[in-house]
Amino acid sequence: MKKVLNVIDLRGRVPSPALLRRVLPRGGTDINAVLPVVSPIVDEIRRRGAEAALEYGEKFDSSRPDSIRVPQEVIAQALEQLDPAVREALEESIRRVRTVHADQKPQSHTTVLHPTGSVTEVFIPVARVGLYVPGGNAVYPSSVIMNVVPAQEAGVGSLVVASPPQAAFGHWPHPTILAACALLGVDEVWAVGGAQAVALLAYGDEQLDPVDLITGPGNIYVTAAKRLVRGVVGIDSEAGPTEIAVLADASANPTWVAYDLISQAEHDVLAASVLITNCAELADAVNAEVAARYEVTLNADRVKQALTGQQSGIVLVDDLETAIIVADAYAAEHLEVHTENAREVSERITNAGAIFVGGYSPVPLGDYSAGSNHVLPTSGSARFSAGLSTHTFLRPVNLIDYDAAALEEISSTVITLANAEALPAHGEAIRARFVSVEGDS
Say if residue 132 carries a ligand binding annotation. Answer: yes
Say if residue 264 carries a ligand binding annotation. Answer: yes
8 A C-beta contact, residue 330 and residue 17: no
Measured between alpha carbons, how far is 163 from 269 in angstroms, rounded to an integer? 21
99 φ, ψ (degrees, to nearest 5)? -60, -45
Locate all alpha helices (DSSP H) within 161-278, ordered by sequence: 175-183, 194-203, 220-229, 254-265
Q: Is 334 an active-site residue?
A: yes
8 A C-beta contact, residue 236 and residue 327: no
Catalytic residue among 333, 336, 338, 374: 333
Measured between alpha carbons, how far is 378 from 237 in angstroms, rounded to an integer? 9
Measured between alpha carbons, how far is 111 from 309 in angstroms, rounded to an integer? 53
Measured between alpha carbons, how far is 243 from 309 in angstroms, rounded to an integer? 12
Say if residue 221 carries a ligand binding annotation. Answer: no
Catalytic residue among 101, 171, 174, 334: 334
Query: Which of 25, 4, 26, 12 is closest to 284 using CA atoms?
Result: 4
Say if residue 209 carries a ligand binding annotation. Answer: no
Measured between alpha carbons, how far is 212 from 208 in angstroms, rounded to an integer? 13
Say if residue 368 carries a ligand binding annotation. Answer: no
Say if residue 421 carries a ligand binding annotation. Answer: yes
Say if residue 242 carries a ligand binding annotation. Answer: yes
Exposed/middle/buried for residue 340 (C-beta within 10 Å: 0-12, 13-18, 19+):
exposed
Q: Which residues of 250-269 are buried (b: 16+ CB within 10 A; e: fewer)?
A: eebebebbbbbbbbbbbbbb
Contacts with 33 (C-beta within 8 Å, 6 or more apart), sequence order: none
Q: For residue 192, give the 3-state DSSP assignment.
A: coil
Say if residue 367 carries a ligand binding annotation. Answer: yes
H/E element, 111: strand 109-114
Query: Which of 417, 411, 413, 416 is closest to 432 using CA atoms?
Result: 411
Q: Which residue ranges are tagged as binding site for Zn(2+)? A: 264, 267, 367, 426
Q: Which residue ranges are tagged as binding site? A: 132, 196, 219, 242, 264, 267, 334, 367, 421, 426
Question: Which residues are identified as catalytic?
Answer: 333-334
Q: Which residue ranges are tagged as binding site for substrate? A: 242, 264, 267, 334, 367, 421, 426
Q: Which residue ranges are tagged as binding site for NAD(+)? A: 132, 196, 219
